[in-house]
Structure formats: C-alpha cells, structure tokens
C-alpha cells in the first residue's frame, strides 16, 4: 500500500486537509482537489490509484461526477469511494448506482472502515470486486514476448538486425505495442541506427525513482522514430554515463516493459553479464547472431555450451548467420556443425548498402524493398513471432 496514490476531492477544506494528512502519515501519496471539476482534471491527468470524495460537491452533481470518471478510459477502473457528509439513503443509492465502489458516511467509525477498504483494494490477494478494475488488469497488464538479440563477438550485425527485425515485427502486427531497448554497455548504437538521439535513454530512466517509471511513463515518453514504427528506449550515450547505471534497475525496467508491451526486444550485444544472463534465461526467444568468420563461430559454440550449463533450452535459440563480413567464411552447414545448433536464417552480404541504410537511419525494407534481404527480414520476423508464441503455448 505504501506509495499508492489517493486523490481526495472534498469542498470542505478542514475535512480535506484532515484526510490528506491522515493518509500522508500512512505513507500514501495524496493529491487534493477542492471542487468536482478540479477533481476530474487531476484524476485524468495524474491517474491516481483511488479516488476518495465527498459527493456533496458544490459545482457538480454527485451522479455526474461519478459517471464522468466511470466513462473515461483513464479512470474507468479506478476504485471510487464516497466518504459523504450526507447520510440519506437516497444519495447512497444514487452513488452506488452511478458506480462508486463504497459509500461511507462521515462518522467516528468511518476512518477505520475506510482503512479496511483500502487494505482490500490494494492487497493483491484480495483485489476489490470492481468490474472495471478486473477488465483493466486483463487488458492492460500484458505479458509481452521477450526477445533478446546477442552475439559472441562484436561487429556481427546484432544491433542492425535487432532494429530491422523489430521494425518488421511491428509492420507485420501494426496493432501490437513493440518496444526496443538498447542494453549494450558502455555505448548503445540503436539510437544512431534509427536516427533517434533523444533525451531519454537507459541512463536517464534508471536514474528516475522506481515510482516514476511505471508503464505509462514508457508509453507516453519513449520516442517512436520515424519509419521504424516501434518505441525506443535508447542505450547509454557514453561510457562515463554507463558507469552510473544502477545494475539492478535494468531487470526491473525490462519487467515493467513486459507488463505493457506485446513485444519487448532487447539488444544485449556481446555482454554476457550478471545483468544480461537473467534476461537471457527469461527470454522467450534468443536471437543469436553469428557472422561467418571462424573466430565468431568458435566463440558462439563456447557461448552455447555455457548456455546449456545455465539451463537454457535449445528450442528458444534462433541462430542467424549474418554475412556481415563478406562473401567468404564458413557455410551454413559448417557453422551448424561447429556450433551444434541449427541455423534458422542466413542474411546475405549487402556490401556497403547495409551501412548506407544505417547511416541514413532507414530500415532496409524501406530503403531496398525489393532486395533479397528485405524479403528475408519479413519472413524471419514472422517466423520468430510464430515460434515465440508456440513456445508459450499460444
């Protein structure tokens, strides 16, 4: 319950201040509004966890106040508790019919009744019986598919493939919420690839107090780079700032993203660490990007052997052979034999075209729509999503 936000709407200042102080002492975050209209504005702007109000408002009828909150998507599922100066059964009935969850009359016993109600409302084991709230939980709390991109060595095309495949997933599923988070330390590169060097990045977000980085924060503030369609949580802009990242926050941020997006796509690069391993273990799909040079293939074999000791299921590994370094190098069959994993996709060598698209911050599918690579991106994106869903049993 600590940290939950209660909006108190009451036109009697003494009563409002008394309630506000009472709940602040109990470690709630409290918002106050002296009129019905102010109450509506604050409720819609700040979306508190609960609205406590005296229905004897001066400026707006009780029924209208409740209807307005119930009929707006921002507050349709918010618990509404009337703490009323009016004991008349008629008003009680009006309010209950309009959609309040509880109607209490101000009296000496009201505070303890109220506390009991708050306990029930905010306890996860006994969520309040609010039809609106139940719907919100079903609809808004997602359990998005987590897809991580990594490689055994740098320069294999991990970030380019991550951005381009995420874009193709979003294109195939326009209704889905897709977010890409660049977790590569000490410097991320997806921002550069998609042409987004904004103010929000992994460092700024992990610096915010956890209470401020709820899912709404990401929905509202993460940029959606032009042409790429997904939302981006860009990576650390420089090593200096990377040092200040609170490691434990990264896992929490990924959990929040999974609760509000259909697809959470992470660029982990080649950093196998205390931070990235749990994310890999949790992922629905692990995109292992392999380039065709011997040393990368050998290192990939080492990584895969390590994964097996960490209980990672081979079915989740989606290996892509990316011909980033030219036409020479190992073949698909040779790579499969050395690593001991099937290669699901081979990306062709695109010479300087790939770097050019990256430099112009354009997705391959848009810059070179008829290129084989574009077709492969599209097919791979669809195949990845299908596999991830099948592994979830969907």
Ligand X SMILES: Nc1ncnc2c1ncn2[C@@H]1O[C@H](COP(=O)(O)OP(=O)(O)OP(=O)(O)O)[C@@H](O)[C@H]1O
Under the rule (CB under 6 A), what is the footprint of ligand X?
151, 154-160, 184, 189, 269-270, 322-324, 347, 349-351, 354-355, 358
> What residues line the site for Mg ion (CB under 5 A)?
158-159, 189, 269
Nearer Cβ to Mg ion (193/384): 193
Q: Are 290 and 320 in contact (CB under 8 A)?
A: yes
> If contact means CB under 5 to 8 A according to the sort of partner, which of ligand X, Mg ion, none does residue 350 touch?
ligand X
**Closest listed residue to residue 308, CA positions, set 285, 333, 341:** 341
For Mg ion, which is the closer residue by CB, 30 or 324?
Answer: 324
298: alpha, beta or left? (left if phi > 0; alpha if psi -120 to 50) = alpha
3-state secondary structure of 343: strand
Helix (H, G, I), strand (E, B) or coil at 361: coil
Residue 260 or 269: the one with the smaller Cβ distance to Mg ion is 269
Two structure tokens written together for 163 = 């951005």
Residue 7 binding partner per list Mg ion, ligand X, none, with a CB distance cut-off of 5 to 8 Å that depends on partner kind: none
Going from the C-alpha of 301 to that of each of 115, 273, 279, 295, 347, the distances in angstroms are 58, 17, 20, 10, 19
**Shortest separation between residue 304's beta carbon and Mg ion, angstroms:** 20
Q: Binding partner of residue 39 among Mg ion, ligand X, none, CB under 5 to 8 Å per kind?
A: none
Please say which residue, 42 or 376, places its beta carbon nearer to ligand X.
376
Residue 327: CB minimum distance to ligand X, A: 10
Contact 233, 181 (CB under 8 A): yes
Peptide bond into 186 cis (omega under 30): yes
- Grouping H, G, I as helix, E, B as strand and the rest as coil, residue 150 is strand
Q: Which of 184, 156, 153 is closest to 299 using CA atoms?
A: 153
Closest chain position to ligand X (CB): 154
DSSP conformation class of 348: P
Q: Among ligand X, Mg ion, none, what does residue 355 contact (CB within 5–8 Å per kind)?
A: ligand X
- What is d(CA 51, CA 13) in angstroms, rounded to the nearest whole number? 17
Q: Which among Mg ion, ligand X, none contacts residue 130 (Cβ within 5 to 8 A by kind)?
A: none
Distance of closest approach, residue 274 Cβ to Mg ion, in angstroms: 20
Look at residue 157 and give the partner it binds from ligand X, Mg ion, none, a contact being a CB closer than 5 to 8 Å depending on partner kind.
ligand X
| Nearest distance, CB of residue 269 and Mg ion, angstroms | 5
CB of 122 to ligand X, least distance (A): 43
Rounded CA separation 325/151 (Å)? 14
211 binds, among Mg ion, ligand X, none (CB under 5 to 8 A by kind): none
Q: For Mg ion, which is the closer residue by CB, 82 or 148? A: 148
Q: Are 267 and 298 in contact (CB under 8 A)?
A: no
Q: How far is the CB of 304 from ligand X (least distance, A)?
A: 17
Nearer to Mg ion, 36 or 269 (CB): 269
């Amino acid at each position: 319950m600590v940290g939950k936000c209660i909006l108190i709407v009451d036109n009697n200042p003494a009563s409002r201040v008394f309630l506000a102080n009472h709940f602040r002492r109990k470690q709630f975050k409290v918002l106050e509004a002296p009129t019905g209209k102010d109450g509506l504005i604050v409720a819609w702007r700040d979306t508190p966890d609960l609205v406590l109000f005296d229905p004897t408002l001066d400026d707006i009828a009780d029924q209208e106040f409740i209807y307005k909150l119930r009929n707006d998507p921002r507050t349709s599922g918010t618990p509404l508790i009337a703490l009323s100066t009016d004991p008349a059964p008629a008003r009680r009935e009006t309010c209950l019919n309009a959609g309040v969850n509880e109607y209490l009359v101000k009296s000496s016993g009201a505070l303890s009744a109220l506390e009991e109600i708050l306990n029930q409302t905010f306890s996860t084991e006994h969520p309040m019986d609010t039809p609106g709230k139940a719907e919100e939980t079903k609809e808004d709390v997602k359990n998005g598919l987590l897809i991580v991109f990594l490689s055994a060595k740098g320069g294999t095309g991990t970030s380019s493939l991550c951005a381009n495949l995420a874009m193709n997933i979003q294109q195939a599923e326009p209704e889905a919420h897709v977010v890409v988070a660049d977790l590569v330390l000490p410097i991320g590169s997806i921002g550069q690839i998609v042409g987004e060097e904004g103010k929000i990045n992994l460092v700024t977000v992990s610096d915010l107090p956890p209470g401020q980085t709820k899912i709404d924060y990401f929905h509202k503030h993460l940029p959606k780079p032009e042409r790429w369609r997904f939302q981006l949580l860009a990576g650390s802009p420089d090593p200096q700032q990377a040092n200040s990242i609170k490691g434990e926050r990264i896992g929490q941020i990924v959990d929040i993203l999974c609760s509000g997006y259909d697809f959470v796509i992470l660029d982990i690069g080649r950093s196998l660490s205390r931070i990235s391993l749990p994310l890999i273990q949790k992922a629905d799909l692990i995109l292992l990007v392999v380039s065709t040079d011997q040393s990368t293939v050998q290192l990939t074999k080492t990584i895969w052997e390590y994964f097996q000791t960490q209980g990672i299921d081979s079915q989740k590994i989606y290996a892509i052979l990316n011909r980033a370094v030219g036409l020479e190098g190992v073949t698909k069959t040779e790579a499969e034999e050395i690593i001991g994993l099937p290669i699901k996709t081979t990306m062709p060598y695109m010479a300087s075209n790939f770097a050019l698209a990256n430099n112009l911050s354009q997705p391959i599918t848009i810059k070179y729509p008829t290129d084989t690579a574009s077709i492969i991106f599209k097919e791979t994106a669809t195949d990845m999503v299908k596999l991830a869903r099948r592994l979830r049993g969907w």
